[in-house]
Amino acid sequence: MINPEIKKYIYEEVVPRYREFDDAHKEDHALTVIAQAMHLLDGREVWVASQECTDPLWLISVDKDMLLAAAACHDLGLVNGRDNHHMDSGVIIRSDSRLAQWFTSEQIETIAQAAEDHRASGKGAPRSIYGMIVAEADRVIDGETIIRRTIQFGFKHYPDLDREGHIARAIAHLREKYGRGGYLKLWIPWSENAIRLNALQDIIADPDAILHEVERIYDSLL
């Protein structure tokens, strides 16, 4: 059962901060990551039972209040720009006096680390199961959404590019991050993301298919 005071704070005061961020990180993104994180937590019990899993990592008790806070706050650092937003999110979490009303300093640190560890370009594994769940929830592997967000990022950060430039940049980024051998890592074995990522990788690996998809979605955003 989630603490109603924490829930009220998250949905009425934290999530609305995303209104000021770029189109790919508005309130709907925060809400999606929260929902996906809770879904992954619920799915863990089913997966553990079905696999007869004895791995202590997947048997660790997860505090739903902490997970809610980590999922909701993971991108708050975007207020200072994208480049270091994951680390800035950690700073914001550690300095949040409201969170300190409900969580111990150790819990706050775990929540902050989960935000710091969520970024797909991170070189190492998240430091806790909270970080793994938030990182996985933030992926939300859906080809249409990923391509759209990639193009929208280009609109905001590379406004001088023409149509061909935006399309070429988007395809290059998709290959670098989501293509086979890309830097995106998945951490949760019971997530559906692996199946969806494989389908997206099939498209990315086909030059004609990825060009068609990026052009189609680009034109739909105009």
pLDDT at position 144 is 94
Per-residue pLDDT at 122 exceeds 80: no
The residues spanned by each domain of the chain are 4-139, 143-221
> Could you read off the pLDDT of 64-111 as tens digits, one per residue?
999 999 999 999 999 999 889 999 999 999 999 999 999 999 999 999
d(CA 90, CA 105): 13
d(CA 22, CA 129): 28
Which numeric CATH code is attached to 4-139? 1.10.3210.10
Per-residue pLDDT at 15 exceeds 90: yes
pLDDT at position 181 is 93
Q: What is the mean pLDDT of the chain?
A: 94
d(CA 105, CA 49): 33
Per-residue pLDDT at 185 exceeds 90: no
pLDDT at position 54 is 86
Per-residue pLDDT at 140 exceeds 80: no
d(CA 99, CA 165): 43
Q: In the structure encoding, which two tokens stand for residue 175, read together?
A: 């290959």
d(CA 130, CA 113): 9
Task: Give the predicted TM-score (pTM) of the model.
Answer: 0.79
> Could you read off the pLDDT of 153-175 as tens digits, one per residue?
999 999 999 999 999 999 999 99
Per-residue pLDDT at 120 exceeds 80: no
pLDDT at position 31 is 97
